[in-house]
């Protein structure tokens, strides 16, 4: 590791110690799935919260909490056992460009999915070789799994995929929550088939801005290519758990508002 990277690593390690604390949960969207203890409840709450993850953290948490209220705060039981008349309560639901049409599609998709599988992990891991360096194939495979049947064209935009060039920030965040083994109890680490070293750092405009300032990436936009570039640098710092640095990068970009 050269001198410049060593300095960046020390700086990020210091920021990681500051932000990587259980108190992080209370102000972050991950607080929503932390309301649950059963795996499918965590998955469903986490999945929808991640889909809503653009805009302010307050608005994301508010929308996800409202959705769970509409599901009687029992997401798995609602998804599996709801009847057509139960869906009327969602007609006016919206979060930014995520509309009731999109929500109803995902509710029906998940109902069908959980009739065949006990965990949402299979929808990702089925497409991923244990020896794959990253989750790229898992994300592309998940996209095709979700949209294999009839679906509204407009809903495609809510599931990012690497083959479409997206940085996949929301799904990479969801995977971080589910996969990463976390001694502090922030991420859940409840999935076993996908490994932490395969994860890609969630990259939005804030993280991309900080990464550019630190010389970790050189592109100007948050794309799949730049997310790969960033994660490859973070693997130099920790090859087993590179995305732990998401806490530091996010804190610098969103909380300290680095420009």
Q: Rounded to an integer, what distance in angstroms lies between the CA atom of residue 218 and that of residue 220?
A: 7
Contact present, 189 and 182 (Cβ < 8 Å): yes
Please choose, from the candidates 110, 114, 168, 117, the residue with its C-alpha nearest in 3D space to the C-alpha of residue 138: 168
Average pLDDT over residues 227-246: 98
pLDDT at 142 over 70: yes
Tens digit of each residue's pLDDT (9 = 90 or more) over 24-74 = 999 999 999 999 999 999 999 999 999 999 889 999 999 999 999 999 999
* Structure-token match 């709801």, residue found: 82
How far apart CA 125 and CA 6 sit, in angstroms, is 34
Cα separation, 27 vs 195, whole angstroms: 26
pTM exceeds cut of 0.85: yes
pLDDT of residue 71: 98
CA 245 – CA 98 distance, rounded (Å):
29
Rounded to 5°, the CA angle 228-190-199 comes to 5
The whole-number pLDDT of residue 1 equals 76
Report the C-alpha gap between 181 and 195 in whole angstroms: 9
Q: How close are the terminal C-alpha atoms of the chain, in Å?
A: 26
CB atoms within 10 A of CB 147: 17
pLDDT-derived band of residue 257, with 50, 70 and 90 as boundaries? confident
Residue/partner pairs of 76-85 with CB below 8 Å, 24 or more apart? 76/38, 76/40, 76/41, 76/44, 76/114, 79/44, 79/107, 79/110, 79/111, 79/114, 80/111, 80/114, 80/115, 82/107, 82/111
Cβ partners under 8 Å of residue 239, min gap 6: 197
Say if residue 247 is exposed, middle or buried (CB neighbours under 10 Å; 0-12, 13-18, 19+).
Answer: buried
Contact 24, 250 (CB under 8 A): no
Q: Which of 57-61, 101-105, 219-223 has the lowest mean pLDDT?
A: 219-223
What's the pLDDT score for residue 155?
A: 98
* Residue 259 confidence (pLDDT) above 70: no
> CA torsion, points 220, 6, 201, 54, in degrees to nearest 10?
-60
């Amino acid at each position: 590791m050269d001198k410049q990277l060593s300095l960046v690593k020390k700086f990020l390690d210091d920021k990681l110690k500051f932000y990587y604390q259980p108190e992080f949960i209370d102000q972050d969207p991950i607080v929503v799935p932390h309301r649950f203890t059963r795996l499918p409840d965590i998955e469903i709450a986490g999945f929808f919260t991640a889909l809503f993850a653009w805009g302010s953290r307050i608005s994301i948490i508010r929308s996800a909490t409202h959705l769970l209220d509409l599901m009687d705060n029992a997401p798995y039981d609602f998804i599996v056992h709801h009847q057509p008349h139960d869906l009327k309560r969602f007609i006016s639901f919206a979060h930014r460009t995520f509309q009731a049409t999109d929500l109803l599609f995902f509710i029906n998709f998940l109902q069908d999915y959980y009739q065949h599988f006990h965990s949402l992990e299979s929808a990702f891991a089925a497409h991923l070789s244990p020896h794959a360096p990253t989750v790229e194939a898992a994300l592309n495979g998940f996209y095709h799994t979700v949209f294999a049947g009839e679906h509204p064209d407009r809903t495609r935009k809510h599931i990012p995929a690497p083959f479409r060039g997206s940085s996949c920030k929301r799904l990479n965040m969801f995977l971080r929550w589910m996969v990463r083994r976390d001694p502090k109890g922030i991420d859940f680490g409840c999935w076993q088939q996908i490994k932490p070293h395969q994860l890609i750092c969630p990259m939005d405009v804030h993280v991309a801005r900080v990464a550019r300032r630190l010389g970790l990436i050189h592109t100007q936009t948050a794309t799949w290519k730049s997310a790969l570039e960033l994660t490859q640098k973070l693997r130099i710092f920790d090859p087993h758990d590179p995305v732990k640095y998401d806490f530091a990068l996010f804190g610098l970009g969103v909380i300290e508002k680095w420009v």
